[in-house]
Amino acid sequence: MSLTEKDKATVKALWAKIQKSADTIGGDALFRLFTTYPQSKIYFSHWTDLGVNSASVKAHGKKVMGGVALAVSKIDDLTKGLLELSEQHAFQLRVDPANFRLLSHCILVVIATLYPQDLTPEAHVCLDKFLANLSLALSERYR
């Protein structure tokens, strides 16, 4: 399910609009991940605070959205563009790739709450494809 030119254009346009809220989206999406899919918390057992106001959660959400921003800028070759991040996730973090799909869903939910008029079904399918391709690129170096 590769990205068409239309998908890429839609994602870039949507990103341009939501970019200013990227940090908020990241923190909120991460907190929703922990609340809705508690098993995801195992990767953060070293944090003392995983609550909604946690500085660690907010900072990490910002970092994650930085990765999404990178992906948008490398949308024409996600595998190559995310190679380093993939190696980090594969060899150091060893996050089960199943979690990428769960976080992608939470990101979509947050965008829906903040930008309901913009996440039309047409935009949703493009963004869903983009996040799926991002997740695939992030899994590239796993095995």
Partner 1 sequence: MVEWTEQERAIISGIFAKLDYEDVGPKALSRCLIVYPWTQRYFGAFGNLYNAEAIKTNQRIAQHGKTVLHGLDRALKNMDNIKATYSDLSVLHSEKLHVDPDNFKQLGDCLTIVIAAKMGSAFTAEMQAAFQKFLAVVVSALGRQYH
Please answer whether residues 9 and 75 qualify as being in contact, where contact means their C-beta atoms are separated by less than 8 angstroms: no
Interface of this chain with partner 1, residues 46 to 105, rule: CB under 8 A: 52, 105
Region from 8-16, 27-35, 70-78, 79-87 binding partner 1, contact rule CB under 8 A: 27-35
Type of residue at 120: T
Site pattern 103..142 for partner 1 (x: CB under 8 A):
--xx-xxx-xxx-x--x-xx-xx--x--------------
CB of 32 to partner 1, least distance (A): 4
Residue 31 within binding range of partner 1, rule CB under 8 A: yes
Is 33:105 a contact under the CB 8 Å cutoff?
Answer: no
Q: Is 119 helix (H, G, I), strand (E, B) or coil?
A: coil
State the helix-helix crossing angle for 98-114 and 22-36, rounded to 10 degrees: 120
Report the nearest approach of partner 1 to the CB of residue 35 (Å): 4
